[in-house]
Structure 1
Amino acid sequence: MDQKLKQRLEEESNYPSNLKEEMWAKIESQLENGSPFLADSIEGKLNNREQPQGKRRKRTMTIIKATTGLTAAVIAIAAFLALPPGEAFMKSVQNWFAPEKKIEVEVEGNKEETNGQVHVNEESRYAIYYDKERYKLIQQDGKDVITTIEPLPEPYPQVSLTIEQDVDALPEKLAADIAGKLTDQFAEVRDIEKVSEPVKGYRIHAINGHDRLSEVITVYVTSNERQGSFILTMNYFLEAAEGHGARFTQTLEQFKVLAEE
């Protein structure tokens, strides 16, 4: 988890790499020695190093610019280390993901920008952005469900993207089990595909007929990076394949499994 935090901070930092490496060396030294984490001492040591006279003024200006961001980083790490492990993990995760962000999607051949709303599931340890102007996220039977803000009128089938976790089954076996169950429910179930997009894992696709309102289901099974799997189920209808179907697929590109602390 310390390495994950280090990587994230480095991605967001603009100060010189030698300062970042020195800061992390100080932090890791304190962690290994079990000594109290002192943000002031780390920043002070970086600012007060011996400098050659001819380069001191230039170096001082660099330090002033760098330490504005450095101070925030050190304080954030100090707060992280002061919290109980689980609480520290979730607070750091929530800081990594902006509450909202612009996401470009392509629907029916046209590109558009949507307003993505983040959802972080603490228990299942994943995060995802979804289009907050078209969809809402609700909990049903212990599952997270992204669906239209307002139910679709009759006779349209409802559309949804459901996220659930099986902590005991690995993706390959679970995909085979799901495909077997869909065979009893759908007229056409395609062969399981191994995929790398929108998530890495397995894809099962099934359809009930070829009418514009025929029910369609696409299931992705991906590792939870432990001993289980996430099941990501897209429900829509044939006419909505290039609309809701495309939007849900691109929503899954924003799905991130969170590492253990």
Structure 2
Amino acid sequence: MERNLKDKLLEKSRYAEGTKEELWSRIETMLDEEPAAPTRMGSRTARKRTKRSDRTMRALKITMAVAVAVMAFGVFLAMPAGTAFMKDVREWFAPEKKVEVEVEGQKEETDQKLHQNKESKYVIYYDQERYKLVQEDGKDVITTKEPLPERYPEVSMTIEQVKDEKPEELIKRLNGELAGKYEDVREVEQVSEPVQGYMVRALAGKEWDSEVVVIYAVDNGKQGSFAITEKYFFEASEGHGARFHQMLKEFKVLDE
């Protein structure tokens, strides 16, 4: 960990190279230095001095370890916005990972892939075995890898940034639009799972192929929102619906 911290400081900080090397050389010397053991001929005064030296060195090591952490954090905060260090999201999120999801009462492990939207500044993991992610008109759309037969309603999850509406305003507008299209539109709910924000749900009926729409409004951290719209059919509520729910747990808005 010390080696990685040093490498990050050397690579990313804006201090002169000579200054950085000298600083780290001094820190490493202080951390690694051990006090000399007293000789047999040493006096009581020498032994007391050695004990005081031991305590001093222990305190120094603790102090220097804290100083290293504080210095690294300070360098991180001093980074100008837009540097590669801030933009390289893949240093903090694994490109792929395995995630457990419960589908129709059964738990299964899925291989999920990281998607980073650099313009809208968010990341999400999606199930790459069953779905694909395409970008259409500034929106990210997660849909089935293989097109469904024509008799099935649309299955998709669309993520769109709405820059000029706060979540509470956006969900009210979208709720009103749903009311004119679906026979059963539920009340708007404030939710903390799978995302933090607001949610409204609409159903076209209770038949196996009745359309289901679930919309979330999430704060984008810049006085705007993300509108996340799930579409599937009634019979797929515990299939595609459960998978979309799990994928949304991996949705993260990136702080500038």
Query: Scaled by the length of structure 2, what TM-score is found?
Result: 0.76
Q: Which letter maps to 2:252?
A: K
Equivalent of 1:122, from 118, 124, 135?
Answer: 118
1:187 Cα offset (Å): 1.1
Q: Give yes or no for the alignment of 1:193 onto 2:160.
A: no
1:186 Cα offset (Å): 1.0
- Provide the aligned C-alpha RMSD in A: 3.1
SS in 2 for 1:104: strand
SS in 2 for 1:186: coil
Q: Give yes or no for the alignment of 1:259 onto 2:239.
A: no
SS in 2 for 1:212: coil
Pair 1:254–1:227, CA change in 2 (3 A): same
Distance in structure 1 (CA, Å) of the matches to 2:215 and 2:23: 49
- What count of residue pairs does the alignment treat as equivalent? 217
User: 1:107-256 residue pairs with structure 2 within 5 A?
Assistant: 107-256=103-252
Q: Which residue of 1 aligns with 2:36?
A: 53
Distance in structure 2 (CA, Å) of the matches to 1:42 and 1:257: 36
Q: Give yes or no for the alignment of 1:44 onto 2:22.
A: no
Q: Which letter maps to 2:242?
A: A
Q: Which letter maps to 2:142?
A: I
Q: Which letter maps to 1:253?
A: K
Q: Which letter maps to 2:82?
A: P
1:85 Cα offset (Å): 2.1
Pair 1:201–1:48, CA change in 2 (3 A): same
Pair 1:43–1:193, CA change in 2 (3 A): same
Q: Give yes or no for the alignment of 1:90 onto 2:93.
A: no
Q: Give yes or no for the alignment of 1:103 onto 2:99.
A: yes
Larger Rg computed on CA atoms? 2
* 8 Å CA contact 1:126, 1:258 repeated in 2: yes
1:43 Cα offset (Å): 3.4
Distance in structure 2 (CA, Å) of the matches to 1:213 and 1:259: 40
Q: Deviations over 1:189-245 (max 9, x none)?
A: 100000000001000100101110000000011101121111111000000000000
**Unaligned ranges ≥5, structure 1:** 1-12, 60-65
SS in 2 for 1:176: helix
SS in 2 for 1:127: strand
Q: Which residue of 1 aligns with 2:45?
A: none
Q: Which letter maps to 1:89?
A: M
Q: Which letter maps to 2:24?
A: E
Distance in structure 2 (CA, Å) of the matches to 1:164 and 1:150: 23
SS in 1 for 2:239: helix
1:84 Cα offset (Å): 7.5
* 8 Å CA contact 1:151, 1:158 repeated in 2: no
**Unaligned ranges ≥5, structure 2:** 38-53, 59-64
1:86 Cα offset (Å): 4.8
Q: Which letter maps to 2:87?
A: M
1:168 Cα offset (Å): 1.1
Distance in structure 2 (CA, Å) of the matches to 1:84 and 1:223: 21
